[in-house]
Amino acid sequence: MGKSRQLSAYRKISGTWQGMIPWLQGIGITIAIAFLFYRSFFGILSGVLIIPFWLKLKSEEKQTQLQAKMETEFKEFMLLIVAGLQTGYSLERALLQAEEELKKLYSQESVLENSVHIMNQKIAMNTQVEKAFAEFAKTAGLEEAESLAEIISFAKRCGGDYCRHIRETAIKIEDSIAVKQEIQTITTEKRLELKVMCVMPILILGYISLTSPGFIKPLYGNLVGIILMSGCLVVYGCLIVLGRRIIDIKV
């Protein structure tokens, strides 16, 4: 029990620290931009726009990573359901068995395990399996889960060999998720290149500021320079957003 509390406290502290990191990064970027673009303490006021912009980018990145992890877990969950059905289990028993195996695969790091557990508890309390699975799919927010929920509901209403339909659908959805993961793997190099390209303008400006300060001195301390540098900063941010959208391939 004490060990469990220690682990819970550690996760809480770790989660708080991880939540602060984007803020600290945003503040650091604001200070760097205040110096490189404005050479003025008042340039820190640009953080009013920069920090929310940075937090939004990090939030989208975190959401993408969470979505990818959830899809991976759901793929494994479906394969475990199919394995249970092929063994001869009923759908209810296959779902319960899949939950147990999911715990073994992902231990405490699972993002789906809690939702799966709630679903199986509802089924154990005599909730219809198709209704419980539909609620699970809605909670997970995965298109693949919602598609499988529709198939389960249809198969339960129409009767017949619904286990075969579920197996076939699960395998098709598994193939769809595999394609998404393959695209993510293929675009990994391009994502890294985008990150380098996003950093390069700042590095180049910093390099010029250190080696040839007189070359860009006319851009600072006057209204024309402020307007020009602010325009460059806005274009810079727009190009970052555009680059992220180009490599964000939807399936």
Q: From first to last of the 251 residues of the chain, give the pLDDT tens digit.
A: 444 444 344 445 455 666 788 888 888 888 888 888 888 877 888 778 888 888 888 888 888 888 878 888 888 888 888 888 888 888 889 899 988 888 888 876 788 888 999 999 999 998 888 899 999 988 888 887 888 888 888 877 776 666 677 777 777 777 877 787 788 788 888 888 888 888 888 888 888 888 888 888 888 888 888 899 889 888 988 988 888 888 776 66
Residue closest to 228 by CA, chosen among 240, 214, 238, 218:
218
Q: Whole-prediction pTM value?
A: 0.71
Domain count, the chain: 2
**How far apart are the C-alpha atoms of 149 and 141, rounded to whole Å?**
12
- Residue pair 143/149 in contact (Cβ under 8 Å)? The answer is no
Domain match, 199 and 160 both: no
Same domain for 163 and 90, yes or no, is yes
Asked which of 121, 147, 180 is the last residue of a domain, the reply is 180
C-beta separation of 115 from 136 below 8 A: yes
Q: 3-state class of 112 per DSSP? A: coil
For residues 44 and 31, the answer to whether their CB atoms sit within 8 Å is yes
Separation of alpha carbons 251 and 178, rounded Å: 11
**Do 152 and 229 sit in the same domain of this protein?**
no
d(CA 196, CA 208): 18
**In the structure encoding, which two tokens stand for residue 70, read together?**
């959830």
Mark whether 160 and 194 lie in a shared domain: no
- Sequence-ordered alpha helix ranges (H) in 34-90: 47-87
Q: Which structural domain range is residue 124 located in?
A: 68-180
Q: Within this chain, do residues 111 and 191 fall inside the same structural domain, yes or no?
A: no
Which of residues 118, 152, 180 is at a domain's end?
180
Q: Exposure of 81 by Cβ count < 10 A (0-12 exposed, 13-18 middle, 19+ buried)?
A: buried
